[in-house]
Amino acid sequence: MTTTLEPTTTALPPLRLGALTVDPAVVLAPMAGITNPAFRTLCREFGAGLYVCEMITTRALVERNEKTLRMIRATADEKDAFSIQLYGVDPATVGRAVQMLVDEGVAGTRPAHIDLNFGCPVPKVTRKGGGSALPWHRVLLRNIVREAVRAAKDVPVTIKTRIGIDADHVTYLDAGRIAQDEGAAAITLHGRTADQLYSGTADWAPIARLVEAVDIPVLGNGDIWEADDALRMVAETGCAGVVIGRGCLGRPWLFGDLAAAFAGESRRALPTMAEVAAIMHRHAGLLAEEHGERHGCSDFRKHVAWYLKGFSVGSDVRRALAMVSGPDELAELLARIPDQPYPTAVLGAPRGRTTPPRPVALPEGWLSDRDDPRPPVGAELETSGG
């Protein structure tokens, strides 16, 4: 089911990243345990844009970790637009990982786009100086971006970051200028500091300031729950595109809404329970194809509450869905839920994690010297996915 809003004339031009055209200018943010091939396929079936795989650790890639090599498989329909996000803290290791992807084809296909993660606020990352803590060391940031761009050759490299560590340690403007100077194709800014995690409301004003400060495209991220939030972000900030994270959890059709919105169309999807059930079954089926029925359905369980948010579902069915172990069982349980209109009360509401703010865990003395070029000791992660 779709609904029609007031007509809009807002349309966003395609995003140009080197030779890669992203149309509409919508990017699926990497999310650990979420943006696997199954979810990327499902989102792509509803819309268009760029769909980034789960975060890949450069150390694990260079060491050819088995799990990591499985995670960088492109699906058949993303061979020409396979997008990888890398996490790394050592310029040499990042450069080597990029070289492997571009020159050796370790992913089975040459990536069309590489993103560098400087925005992760998770304590196990920041306490070692990685993620959103790293841009404070601006010389190290510059060296990492330089090595990645050099190794990537004609493959566009972008970076994703946050406003800063906290209100007293802001890094996004320096990060944007460094990205531009070192040849990055674009920068994504999440409108929160690291200490905010995913609490409160994202501040879009720094996105607008970054747009004014750099010449490369700036993508906005943070609190885009509906397509009209994306339109508002573009109007308020002048950003060249949007990056969608938690807003699509349990709502892969959001990418269809975004495609319509950026084409100046007013239609929006409001699927009935029966239509959502069909999407859920499709999602579980894709995971089963990838991991086998038992592991696929086990992985699907985390999505159930997001899909059913706001719908009237009996507690016994919810409990059973939380333990579902096969596609046939899933279909039987979904058939027990009465069809009903989409619960419009949940539109625009936050989804996924909403962790409260807390001080950022940092290495001893991390804030004392912004120009220290040395990689943080022990910050390299051995496994991918966050």
Active site residue ranges: 120
Counting Cβ atoms within 10 Å, is residue 304 exposed (0-12), middle (13-18) or buried (19+)?
buried
CA proximity to 119, closest of 139, 99, 133, 107: 133
The C-alpha atoms of residue 251 and residue 272 are separated, in whole angstroms, by: 12
What tokens appear for 60 in the block?
A: 């694990």
Own/partner long-range contacts of 329-338 (Cβ < 8 Å, ≥24 apart): 329/297, 330/280, 330/281, 330/284, 330/297, 330/300, 331/281, 334/277, 334/280, 334/281, 335/277, 337/273, 337/277, 337/311, 337/313, 338/273, 338/312
The C-alpha atoms of residue 180 and residue 174 are separated, in whole angstroms, by: 10
Q: What is the dihedral of CA 373, 89, 356, 198, to 10 degrees?
A: 110
What tokens appear for 76 in the block?
A: 């058949």
Angle at 278 between CA 273 and CA 284, to 5 degrees: 120
End-to-end CA distance of the chain: 36
The C-alpha atoms of residue 145 and residue 152 are separated, in whole angstroms, by: 10
Q: Which residues contact 263 (CB under 8 A, 6 or more apart)?
A: 11, 24
CA proximity to 358, closest of 126, 35, 173: 126
Q: What is the dihedral of CA 168, 173, 176, 181, to 10 degrees?
A: -120
CA proximity to 160, closest of 30, 301, 340, 14: 30
Which amino acid does the sequence have at 353? R
